[in-house]
C-alpha cells in the first residue's frame, strides 16, 4: 500500500514544512522511494528549506493542469523527490486534483504532503490526497486547542489514521509550567501520540541557509517517528532541548 501522509496543523508556523522535509529524508533513509509535495499554494517553503528555490521551473499545478509532464516538475533532493507548490493561486485547480496526481505516482511508496496553515482549500486538497495524517502542534495552549479543529477537518476528508506529533517541545519549560506537559496535550487533544520533537535552536540558521537538514536532535526524533510510521515499536524518548 502507498503511504500518503499529510503533515497538517490547526495553527500555522508550528514546523510542518521543516518536519515534512526531515520526514522525507528519514523515510528515504529507511529505503522507501519518497515523494515530498509542498501543498502551500502561494506560500511554498520547501524549495527554500531544501535549497532549490532558484531552480524551480514547474510545479505540481503545472502537471495537473497539463502544462508539463511529471518528470519535468520533479526535483531530485538527496534520496527523495520534491514537487513544489505554485507561487500563485490558480482558479482552475479543484480540490481532488492533487489526489489524482498522487494516486498515479505508483513509483513512490511514501508520499509526504506538507499542508498549508489553516483549514481552507489547500488544507482540504492536501488531506484528500492522503491516507494518513500527522497533526503537528507546539506545546502552547493556543496551538494545542487548534488540534481538535484540525482533527475534525482531516476526518471530514475521510482520514481515519490520524496521529499527533508534538514539535518544539522543551522539557525544562514544561517542568516550569511555561508550556503544556505531553500528558496534558494528549488528554486535551484525545489524539494518539506518534512522537515528540524537541526545540532545536540550530535549526533556524540551517533553514535560513537553505541547507539540507543535518544531524541533530530534531532529525533523531523524526527518525524515531519514521520508524513508528513503519510499524516499529520504538520507545518514546523526550530529548532535552539544547
Ligand atoms: N523543532 C524545532 N526547533 C526549532 N525551530 C523549529 C523547529 N521546528 C520548526 N522550527 C522553526 O519554526 C519556524 C516555522 O517552521 P515551518 O515553516 O516549518 O512551519 P510551518 O508549520 O510549515 O509554517 P506554515 O504554517 O506557515 O506553513 C521555522 O523558522 C523553523 O526553522
Ligand atoms: Mg509550511
Instruction: Identify which ligand lies nearest to the alpha carbon of 38.
Output: 2
What pLDDT, on a 0 to 100 scale, did the predictor assign at position 241?
Answer: 67
pLDDT on residue 203 = 67
If one residue of 15, 146, 220 were mutated to test the ligand 1 pocket, choosing by the most ligand atoms within 8 A of its CB, it would be 15
- What pLDDT score was predicted for residue 242? 56
pLDDT at 207: 57
- Residues 206 and 235: their CA atoms lie apart, in Å, by 28
- Provide the pLDDT confidence category of residue 162 given band limits of 50, 70 and 90: very high
Q: What is the pLDDT of residue 240?
A: 72
Task: Give yes or no for residue 170 CB within 6 A of ligand 1.
Answer: no
Cβ neighbours, 10 Å, residue 238: 15
Give the pLDDT of residue 210.
53
Strand partners, 186: none
Does the pLDDT of residue 205 top 70, yes or no?
no
CA-CA distance, 152 to 59, in Å (whole number)? 29
184 neighbors 196 (Cβ within 8 angstroms): no
Residues lining ion ligand 2 (Cβ < 5 A) are 16-17, 45
Closest of 165, 152, 170 to residue 229, by C-alpha: 165
Say what the pLDDT of residue 126 is.
Answer: 98
Please work out whether the CB of residue 219 comes within 6 Å of at least one atom of ligand 1. Answer: no
Query: Would you say residue 226 has pLDDT above 70?
Result: yes
Ligand 2 centroid to Cα of residue 186, in Å, is 23
Domains and CATH numbers, the chain: 3-229 (3.40.50.300)
Pocket flag, ligand 1, residue 42 (CB < 6 Å): no
Residue identified by cell 495553527 is 11
Q: Which atom of ligand 1 is nearest to the CA of 21?
A: 18
What would the pLDDT profile of 81-121 be if each residue is shown by its tens digit?
A: 999 999 999 999 999 999 999 999 999 999 999 999 988 99
pLDDT at residue 165, as a whole number:
98
What is the mean predicted confidence (pLDDT) over 211-226? 86
**pLDDT the model gives residue 214:** 78
Pairwise pLDDT comparison (102 vs 210), residue with the higher score: 102
Q: Would you say residue 163 has pLDDT above 60?
A: yes
pLDDT number for residue 212: 59
Which atom of ligand 1 lies closest to the CA of 198? 1
pLDDT digits (tens, 9 = 90+) for 5-33: 999 999 999 999 999 999 999 999 999 99
Greater confidence (129 vs 51) lies with 129
Q: If you average pLDDT over residues 127-153, what whole number do you get?
A: 96
Packing angle of the helix pair 16-29, 217-229 (nearest 10 deg)? 60
The strand pairing partners of 77, in sequence order, are 80
Instruction: Report the mean per-residue pLDDT for the chain.
Output: 93
**How far is ligand 1, taken at its centre, from the CA of residue 169, in Å?**
12
Separation CA 205–CA 195 (nearest Å):
24
Q: What is the pTM of this model?
A: 0.95
Amino acid at each position: 500500500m502507498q503511504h500518503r501522509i499529510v503533515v497538517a496543523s490547526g495553527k500555522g508556523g508550528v514546523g510542518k514544512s521543516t518536519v515534512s522535509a526531515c520526514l522525507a529524508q528519514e523515510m528515504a533513509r529507511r529505503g522507501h522511494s519518497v515523494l515530498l509535495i509542498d501543498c502551500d499554494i502561494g506560500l511554498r517553503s520547501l524549495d527554500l528549506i531544501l535549497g532549490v528555490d532558484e531552480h524551480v521551473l514547474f510545479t505540481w499545478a503545472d502537471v495537473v493542469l497539463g502544462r508539463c509532464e511529471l518528470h519535468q516538475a520533479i526535483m531530485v533532493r538527496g534520496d527523495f523527490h520534491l514537487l513544489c507548490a505554485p507561487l500563485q493561486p490558480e482558479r482552475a485547480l479543484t480540490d481532488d486534483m492533487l489526489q489524482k496526481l498522487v494516486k498515479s505516482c505508483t513509483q513512490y511508496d511514501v508520499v509526504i504532503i506538507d499542508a498549508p496553515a489553516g483549514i481552507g482549500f489547500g488544507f482540504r486538497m492536501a488531506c484528500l490526497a492522503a491516507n494518513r495524517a500527522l497533526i503537528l502542534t507546539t506545546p502552547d495552549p493556543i496551538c494545542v486547542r487548534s488540534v481538535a479543529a484540525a482533527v475534525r477537518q482531516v476526518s471530514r476528508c475521510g482520514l481515519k489514521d490520524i496521529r499527533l506529533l508534538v514539535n518544539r517541545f522543551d522539557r525544562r519549560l514544561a517542568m516550569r509550567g511555561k508550556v503544556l506537559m505531553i500528558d496534558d496535550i494528549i488528554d486535551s487533544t484525545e489524539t494518539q501520540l506518534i512522537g515528540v520533537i524537541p526545540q532545536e535552536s540550530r535549526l533556524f540558521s540551517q533553514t535560513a541557509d537553505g541547507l539540507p537538514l543535518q544531524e541533530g536532535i530534531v532529525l533523531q526524533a523524526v527518525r524515531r517517528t519514521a520508524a513508528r510510521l513503519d510499524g516499529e515499536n520504538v520507545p518514546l524518548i523526550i530529548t532535552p532541548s539544547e
